[in-house]
Amino acid sequence: MSKSSKKVVVLDYGFGNVRSAERAVARAGAEVEISSDYDAAMAADGLLVPGVGAFAACMAGLRAARGDWIVDRRLTGGRPVLGICVGMQILFGRGIEHGVETEGLDEWPGTVGPLRADVVPHMGWNTVEAPADSAMFAGLSPEERYYFVHSYAVHDWTLQVTNAHMRAPLVTWTTHGERFVSAVENGPLWATQFHPEKSGDAGAQLLTNWIETL
């Protein structure tokens, strides 16, 4: 299947930069639709889940749009999902903001908490430490920089894979005051803390890599 014949739905649940995501995915070569429709989201070759703002508000909006059900059903069937920024954070077990704890989608164990750095939010360009066999960062130099805007992050990766027949997720890290998880590849589920749609040629290559897996 060529890239041009692949259909991506950008999930519109009220908490994401859907237009910039739509433009970036279209430039990367896929057919794109912005939708909150359950059937459209389920039928697409790939689902992109953006996210901006507070963890709790994003989770409330996602559940109101049945996005939690859509993500779960797609992943159960091995159907690709890409989460971006808070769309990545909500894939973890819980988020804590201003002392308020909110349950996430729990696709991975872990807690999203305040970023501990001298300058917060972490806003601007930064490098990443990606695994050597990463498909997400294939063709990209370790010196490439990606655009971040966030005040919260996952500081510890706790998932342990004990089944020898299962591939452990590939975890990418970035340092801003401290190391935090900046991307994850886990079978059909990919996610980035940074914004590939705002990361120039490097972000475009990453989106192309994702589309080629669909």
Q: Looking at the annotation, which residues are catalytic? A: 85, 195, 197
Instruction: Please list, in sequence order, all residues whose beta carbon lies within 8 angstroms of the beta carbon of residue 155, skipping any fewer than 6 positions away.
Output: 111, 113, 116, 178, 179, 180, 181
Cβ-count burial of 125 within 10 angstroms (0-12 exposed, 13-18 middle, 19+ buried)? middle
Whole-angstrom CA distances from 214 to 2, 81, 148 are: 10, 10, 25
Q: SS3 of 193, please?
A: coil
Measured CA to CA, the distance from residue 20 to residue 18 in angstroms comes to: 6
